Each structure stands twice: as C-alpha cells, then as structure tokens.
C-alpha cells in the first residue's frame, strides 16, 4: 500500500470534493491519496478500503459496486473500522453523513441514499436513525443534490 500526500489545492483539483481516495487496480498495490493535513480517521478509513475490506478479492478481479447498498455497506464498515481504531465506542452520527456524501459523490439520488443507509445500518445491527436525524439527513441530501443538478 502506498500513501501519497498532496497539497489541498492539488487534491481538490484531481479529486474534487472527496476527503481521501483509495485507488485499487487489478494487479497493482492500492494507492491512498490524501490531502496534506488529513485526519487519522480519514487515513484509517482509507486503509480499511486498501487492506481490510472483505471485498478485496472481488475488487482485484475488477468488481465495480453494483448497488447503492453494497457501496453503503463498504463505507459503513470503513467508518466503523476507523472509529474503533481511534477509541470510539459507537458509530458517531456525523459518520452516517460521511457515508451519504460518498454516495452523493457517486451520483445517487437522495431517496436511494436514505433507503440504502437505513438497510445497511439495520443489517449491521445499528440503531436506526431517529426522526430528527432522518430529517436532517434528508434535508442535507436534497440541498446538496439540488445544487449539483443546478450546476450541471
């Protein structure tokens, strides 16, 4: 695994709105790209994608994420991995927003993201989002999605 630190400007120029990126190609070692001052949690999140994901063998064979639920599950597991490594007991609410942001960046619509997050949290045994959390997440998703649609 190779880690490449880029200046914030260069990182945004190459990868846009992402926090960090892991590139994995068939037959090559994974490369993690991070902006210069990335947090420990961001690094650990990307290390999970590069080394510990249970889907690594399939990714090596060229698997692309087929469903939003698969992407949501991979992101949730990476968030949990990072949280546990820095001593957090449970999945913080803001990490659910991080999962949603990744899915937005991949072009999924707000309703699809909400459904996937709900199913993935249930599948992994986490408490469902309460009404206020669902409402806040829905509002955020709609706002960001509508801005992106307008910018096209």
Give the confidence band of 78 by pLDDT, cuts at 50, 70, 90.
very high
Nearby residues of 79 by Cβ (< 8 Å), 6 or more positions away: 45, 91, 95, 98, 99
Domain residues of the chain, as ranges?
A: 1-64, 65-152
pLDDT at 77: 92
**What percent of the chain has pLDDT above 90?**
38
Rounded CA gap, 148 and 54, in Å? 32
Would you state the CATH architecture of domain 65-152?
A: Orthogonal Bundle (1.10)
pTM of the model: 0.85
Rounded CA gap, 131 and 133, in Å? 6
**What percent of the chain has pLDDT above 70?**
96
- If you count them, how many residues does the chain have? 152
pLDDT at 37: 80
Nearby residues of 41 by Cβ (< 8 Å), 6 or more positions away: 82, 83, 86
Q: Which of 62-71, 126-135, 139-148 has the lowest mean pLDDT?
A: 62-71
pLDDT at 112: 95
Which residue, chain included where needed, has tokens 């070692």?
29
Phi, psi of 54, rounded to the nearest 5 degrees: -70, -10
pLDDT tens readout for residues 84-129: 898 887 777 778 888 998 899 888 999 999 999 999 999 999 888 9
Strands 31-35 and 2-6: parallel
pLDDT at 22: 86
Give the confidence band of 21 by pLDDT, cuts at 50, 70, 90.
confident
Please state the rounded mean pLDDT for residues 40-66: 82
Please state the rounded mean pLDDT for residues 41-48: 90
Token readout for 24 is 């994995």
């Amino acid at each position: 695994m190779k880690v490449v630190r880029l200046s914030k400007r260069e990182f945004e120029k190459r990868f846009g709105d992402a926090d960090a990126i892991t590139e994995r190609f068939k037959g090559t070692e994974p490369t993690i790209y991070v902006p210069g001052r990335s947090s420990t949690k961001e690094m650990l999140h990307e290390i999970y994608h590069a080394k510990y994901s249970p889907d690594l063998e399939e990714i090596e064979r060229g698997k692309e994420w087929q469903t939003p639920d698969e992407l949501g599950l991979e992101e949730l597991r990476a968030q949990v991995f990072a949280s546990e490594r820095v001593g957090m007991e449970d999945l913080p609410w803001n990490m659910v927003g991080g999962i949603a942001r990744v899915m937005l960046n991949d072009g999924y619509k707000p309703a699809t993201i909400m459904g996937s997050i709900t199913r993935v949290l249930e599948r992994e045994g986490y408490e469902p989002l309460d009404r206020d959390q669902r409402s806040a997440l829905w509002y955020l998703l709609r706002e960001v999605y509508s801005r992106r649609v307008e910018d096209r």
